[in-house]
């Protein structure tokens, strides 16, 4: 009989900070697709199998449109102009297309030196202040935040106006009121910025985009998506990734001994940690998936992190193996919404992990592993709240 999951777990198993919640791994064991009830009581499906997640992501009969989400018993408004993550073609492509050329592997490689410089600055500051320190505030957060700010043309010194607010509506457990306040504050900040860029264009993506037929409203939405997607994901990969390496000392030693392993290590950490863990899609028509009929208008939850631990796709999926050859993880998604910033994120991680391990050969946790605070499963992006580390100065 078909496995049923009634609620998504809010926490992971104690002592297993890197593994998807046991209920999801268990669901995959029963089969790649399970019946599921959304928190608002609406019937849905939960997909945990690699092949099925990938096929839904490649299937235009499934929609990303926000207003179609059938998960609560009130109407959800459509995504505001420019927020293309939650749109379908042709709107999605109209926003994504002008951005693609600005995020190519080649353009991102040109940024490498700047990423190295920012990383060095963070490490210098850490050395100066001395151990112990919180790796999140000293390292994991500033590197991707400074980069996305510079790329987009958002003043880094204004980060209090957006970073904390974005954190609140993506990962906090705020009240409805706080959520709206945080979202509105970010919107207002970006609206002013767009007007300023139009008046005085500078050398950055946002200024370049003012030279198109996109409206101020649309540019504001695009900026919000790029900011929200641009720092929190990579920041959590850096902090949680360091935690995972420190908890796997043999793997860490191999990476230290062979710096050429860094690219492969980044891919394996992406698979193993899958910090962007779940996304949803809604069926536009009746679709058969894994032998089940998903009725038009039903929303499915796609568990990217469980799919990336699928034993039918990856050998020993729950083992962190930096030498792993079976690529093709779904950590950046798949299909039309495939992560726009994947090349940037890869370079940031390769540079940052390598430099950190190089600078501090004796890097270790400053608290017992069980005391490292983890984000709840309700957060959009998984990770640690902070990561106290120390080293021999
Ligand atoms: C989309 C993951 C870094 C920008 C996505 C999606 C995933 C993802 C899974 C697909 C969502 C879906 O299927 O609906 C990650 C991870 C990152 C990362 C794990 C870091 C390790 C970045 C960075 C940027 C970025 C640095 C900066 C520009 C975007 C954008 C989209 C996206 C704009 C939406 C694409 C679209 O809807 O067409 N990301 N991301 N991401 N990501 Fe990333």
Instruction: For 37, list phi and psi in degrees, rounded to 5.
Output: -115, 125
Q: Which two tokens stand for residue 141?
A: 């957060």
Nearest residue (CA) to ligand 1, atom 34: 85
Mutational test site, ligand 1, from 93, 339, 379, max ligand atoms within 8 Å of CB: 339
CA 190 from centroid of its chain's CA atoms: 21
User: What 3-state DSSP class applies to 335?
Assistant: helix
Nearest residue (CA) to ligand 1, atom 35: 337
Res 173: pLDDT: 67
Place of tokens 């990969």: 237
- Do 268 and 353 meet the contact criterion of CB atoms below 8 Å apart? no
Q: Ligand 1 centroid vs 1 CA: distance in angstroms? A: 36
Nearest residue (CA) to ligand 1, atom 10: 333
Residues contacting residue 307 through CB under 8 Å, at least 6 positions apart: 47, 48, 49, 50, 53, 54, 313, 330
CA gap 115, 105 in Å, rounded: 14
Higher pLDDT, 313 or 170: 313
For range 90-111, the mean pLDDT: 92
User: What 3-state DSSP class applies to 378?
Assistant: coil
For range 98-113, the mean pLDDT: 90
- Using a 10 angstrom Cβ sphere, with 0-12 exposed, 13-18 middle and 19 or more buried, the burial of residue 102 is middle
Residue (of 143, 169, 166) closest to 156 by Cα position: 143
Place of tokens 């073609």: 89
Please report the atom of ligand 1 found closest to the CA of residue 302: 13
pLDDT digits (tens, 9 = 90+) for 147-188: 999 999 998 888 877 787 777 777 666 677 888 888 888 889
For range 19-40, the mean pLDDT: 94
**Residues within 6 Å of ligand 1 by CB:** 64, 84-85, 96, 148, 225-226, 229-230, 233-234, 237, 275-276, 279, 331-333, 337, 339-341, 344-345
Please report the atom of ligand 1 found closest to the CA of residue 237: 21
Residues contacting residue 209 through CB under 8 Å, at least 6 positions apart: 98, 219, 222
Please report the atom of ligand 1 found closest to the CA of residue 87: 37
- Report field, pTM of the whole predicted structure over 0.90: yes
Res 224: pLDDT: 93
Average pLDDT, the chain: 94
Residue 321 has pLDDT above 90, yes or no: yes
Mutational test site, ligand 1, from 150, 229, 301, 381, max ligand atoms within 8 Å of CB: 229
pLDDT digits (tens, 9 = 90+) for 225-279: 999 898 899 999 999 999 999 999 999 999 999 999 999 999 999 999 999 999 9
Residues in the chain: 393
Task: Count the neighbouring beta carbons within 10 Å of the beta carbon of residue 259.
Answer: 12
For range 379-387, the mean pLDDT: 94
Res 39: pLDDT: 86
Nearest residue (CA) to ligand 1, atom 38: 337
Place of tokens 């495939």: 338
Which DSSP string corresponds to 252-301? HHHHHH-GGGHHHHHHHHHHHH-SB-EEEEEESS-EEETTEEE-TT-EEE
CA gap 274, 11 in Å, rounded: 16
pLDDT level of residue 7 (50, 70, 90 thresholds): confident
Q: Which two tokens stand for residue 176?
A: 């409805």
Percentage of the residues of the chain whose pLDDT score is greater than 90:
82
For range 6-16, the mean pLDDT: 87
Give the DSSP H or E segment for 245: helix 216-246
Res 172: pLDDT: 66
Residue (of 338, 331, 301) closest to 314 by Cα position: 331
pLDDT digits (tens, 9 = 90+) for 49-62: 999 999 999 999 99
Res 110: pLDDT: 87
pLDDT level of residue 84 (50, 70, 90 thresholds): very high
- Do 142 and 118 meet the contact criterion of CB atoms below 8 Å apart? yes
In whole angstroms, how far apart are CA 25 and each of 29, 49, 312, 357? 6, 10, 13, 32
Q: Which two tokens stand for residue 14?
A: 């104690």
Percentage of the residues of the chain whose pLDDT score is greater than 70:
99
């Amino acid at each position: 009989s078909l496995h049923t999951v009634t609620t998504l777990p809010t926490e992971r198993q104690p002592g297993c900070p890197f593994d998807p919640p046991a209920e999801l791994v268990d669901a995959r064991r029963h089969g790649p697709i399970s019946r599921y009830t959304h928190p608002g009581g609406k019937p849905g499906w939960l997909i945990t199998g690699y092949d099925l997640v990938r096929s839904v992501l490649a299937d235009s009969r499934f929609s990303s449109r926000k207003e179609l989400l059938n998960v609560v018993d009130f109407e959800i408004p459509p995504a505001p102009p420019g927020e293309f993550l939650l749109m379908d073609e042709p709107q999605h492509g109209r926003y994504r297309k002008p951005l693609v050329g600005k995020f190519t592997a080649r353009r991102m490689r040109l940024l490498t030196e700047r990423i190295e410089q920012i990383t060095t600055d963070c490490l210098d500051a850490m050395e100066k202040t001395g151990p112990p320190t919180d790796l999140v505030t000293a390292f994991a957060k500033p590197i991707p935040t400074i980069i996305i700010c510079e790329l987009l043309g958002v003043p880094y010194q204004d980060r209090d106006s957006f970073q904390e607010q974005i954190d609140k509506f993506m990962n906090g457990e705020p009240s409805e009121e706080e959520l709206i306040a945080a979202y509105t504050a970010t919107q207002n900040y970006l609206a002013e910025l767009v007007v300023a860029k139009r008046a005085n264009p500078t050398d950055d993506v946002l200024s370049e985009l003012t030279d198109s037929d996109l409206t101020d409203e649309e540019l504001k939405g695009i900026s919000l998506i790029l900011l929200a997607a641009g720092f929190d994901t990579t920041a959590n990969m850096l902090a949680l990734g360091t935690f995972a390496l420190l908890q796997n000392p043999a793997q860490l030693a191999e990476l230290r001994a062979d710096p050429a392993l860094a690219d492969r290590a980044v891919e394996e950490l992406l698979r193993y940690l899958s910090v962007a863990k779940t996304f949803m899609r809604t069926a536009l028509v009746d679709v058969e998936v894994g032998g089940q009929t998903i009725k038009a208008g039903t929303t499915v939850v796609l568990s990217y992190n469980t799919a990336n631990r699928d034993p039918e796709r990856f050998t020993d999926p729950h083992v962190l193996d930096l030498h792993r050859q079976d690529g093709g993880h779904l950590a950046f998604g798949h299909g039309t919404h495939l992560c726009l910033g994947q090349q940037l994120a890869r370079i940031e991680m390769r540079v940052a992990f390598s430099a950190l391990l190089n600078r501090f050969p004796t890097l270790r946790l400053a608290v017992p592993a069980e005391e490292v605070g983890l984000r709840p499963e309700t957060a959009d992006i998984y990770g640690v709240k902070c990561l106290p580390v120390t080293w021999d100065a």
